[in-house]
Structure 1
């Protein structure tokens, strides 16, 4: 279980040099869990089922390489949170790429798709997010976060072959339906935010074109995608969200999940019903998050 040091032959090869830091699959899983908010030693060990010695070695190596930093949360005895540095955050797209490859080519049949079967491992993972905290996105009240593949002001702006990808179409319809029901969500005490991996300027252009009364949030740095291990697919060189929606309470804790979504417009009505159903629960404390969150 110890970290095995290897002599790197090609000093000019970025892949070899990267593997000199990310020495084995345990190291990738450590980074994955820390990106997901499991930042303390005991919580990491429980999550991964790894030995204390192996985890200690990998954490120390990642700190020495500048991938992680330690932040003290207890002086007596000394205890630390392990957090990603800017260098470590640069690995988030790598995690997303690995997840997408595993879902598509190992768990799946290799087909490019923007959706999933309700009984799939991917759907099971996403529905398991209930009780987890949403990273990065500022949330101070009950919120619907709807994640969509991509929306543009003009049909000419969509990537080539977009209409041939199952589940990719319908982003404009979904956004316009949320816009038309915005007052109903507000009456239920819920705000709406859309989230995409598109650039902020692209989202601003679409929001202005569609006249959306709520903000669209860019996750182009993959912090939310990697933190929650949300399902993605890659089209035209960009990692994009598969369509899903989360109902989040005022403490940023996920309370309900919609995935997969096969009817974008109908999903808005279903989400409003879900949000309204939590009306009495809003006066109660939110359920707790997962280890380390």
Structure 2
């Protein structure tokens, strides 16, 4: 079969991006590095790829400027493979690919902010139990600073993702999308109980920090609202998303994470919001 000549499309951004990401293994290598598997042996184990092929793919991605090598051991020499700014800019593409696959390949093509109990998204989220979040994973907040996703000074952190506050879903009603203001208010009202139990609460959406800050002021939200507009957390945990109102939104779920950044419990899908908030408190105080 005749191979396509990318040079003929030298002015086409799609063609040039495909040179880097169009290879099956390149995409999966980037997926695993986004998940925090940044060392060679971890990548080989996750991908089931031969050392020769993995070395070749990593070399190509470093040469293209998507990855950089960082020395972590001198004898013998060992490197971690980290995303550059160019590589981080690919995360929205990876999440969009996942969203497309969830909807059109693994799903029936419909748009929903929930999930079937026997679906791929349900299985993927519940498989997070026992997963350790990468050290140094931070997201921006409305106060102009980056916050650790897992609070370092709390015994447990409850992470709840939600589609977005102040979004008008009336033109495209999507099952499970509404209710984000209610959810935040319920966590706000239960905040004193979480604090007494040494449990941090972080709300996370794909909204921009200034949008979250405006909502937090209006509703007197006492805990941080973190922005995953760049989809770093979504890529790191392969979180389910849906497209609506012009952007990708995180589906509503709750993770209970211990001080060592290990996910202990996952609640998904979240359909009974008041019960889910109560359950999050119960699980966080019994972890």
Pairwise same-fold verdict (TM > 0.5): yes
Report the Cα distance in structure 1 between the residues aligned to 2:133 and 2:214, rounded to whole angstroms.
26
C-alpha deviation, 1:6, in angstroms: 5.3
Report the Cα distance in structure 1 between the residues aligned to 2:101 and 2:15, rounded to whole angstroms.
21
C-alpha deviation, 1:55, in angstroms: 0.8
Counterpart of 1:221 (choices 214, 230, 235) is 230
C-alpha deviation, 1:5, in angstroms: 9.4
Q: Spell out, residue by residue over 1:164-215, the C-alpha distance to the aligned partner (whole angstroms, 9 max, x if none).
A: 1011011111110011111111122201110011000100111111111111
Report the Cα distance in structure 2 between the residues aligned to 1:159 and 1:271, rounded to whole angstroms.
27
Q: Spell out, residue by residue over 1:224-263, the C-alpha distance to the aligned partner (whole angstroms, 9 max, x if none).
A: 1111110011112211100001111112221111111111
C-alpha deviation, 1:8, in angstroms: 3.0
Report the Cα distance in structure 2 between the residues aligned to 1:83 and 1:130, rounded to whole angstroms.
25
Report the Cα distance in structure 1 between the residues aligned to 2:232 and 2:86, rounded to whole angstroms.
13
Tell me how large the CA RMSD over aligned residues is: 1.5
- How many residue pairs match? The answer is 270
Tell me if structure 1 keeps the 8 A contact 2:169–2:178: no
Tell me if structure 1 keeps the 8 A contact 2:253–2:267: yes
Report the Cα distance in structure 2 between the residues aligned to 1:144 and 1:30, rounded to whole angstroms.
29
Counterpart of 1:232 (choices 231, 236, 241) is 241
Is residue 102 from structure 1 mapped to residue 101 from structure 2 by the alignment? Answer: yes
Corresponding residue number in structure 1 for 2:141: none
Report the Cα distance in structure 2 between the residues aligned to 1:276 and 1:251, rounded to whole angstroms.
16
Name stretches of at least 5 consecutive residues in structure 1 with no aligned partner.
Answer: 279-293
Which secondary structure state, in structure 2, belongs to the residue aligned with residue 150 of structure 1?
coil
Counterpart of 1:161 (choices 160, 171, 186) is 171
Normalized against structure 2, the TM-score is what? 0.90
Corresponding residue number in structure 1 for 2:285: 276
C-alpha deviation, 1:159, in angstroms: 5.1
Is residue 147 from structure 1 mapped to residue 161 from structure 2 by the alignment? Answer: yes
Report the Cα distance in structure 2 between the residues aligned to 1:191 and 1:21, rounded to whole angstroms.
40
Which secondary structure state, in structure 2, belongs to the residue aligned with residue 198 of structure 1?
coil
C-alpha deviation, 1:120, in angstroms: 1.2
Q: 1:63–1:223: structure 2 CA closer, same or farther, 3 Å change rule?
A: same
Which secondary structure state, in structure 2, belongs to the residue aligned with residue 191 of structure 1?
strand
Normalized against structure 1, the TM-score is what? 0.89
Report the Cα distance in structure 1 between the residues aligned to 2:270 and 2:89, rounded to whole angstroms.
30
Tell me if structure 2 keeps the 8 A contact 1:39–1:83: yes
Tell me if structure 2 keeps the 8 A contact 1:134–1:224: no
Report the Cα distance in structure 2 between the residues aligned to 1:229 and 1:181, rounded to whole angstroms.
28
Tell me if structure 2 keeps the 8 A contact 1:73–1:80: yes
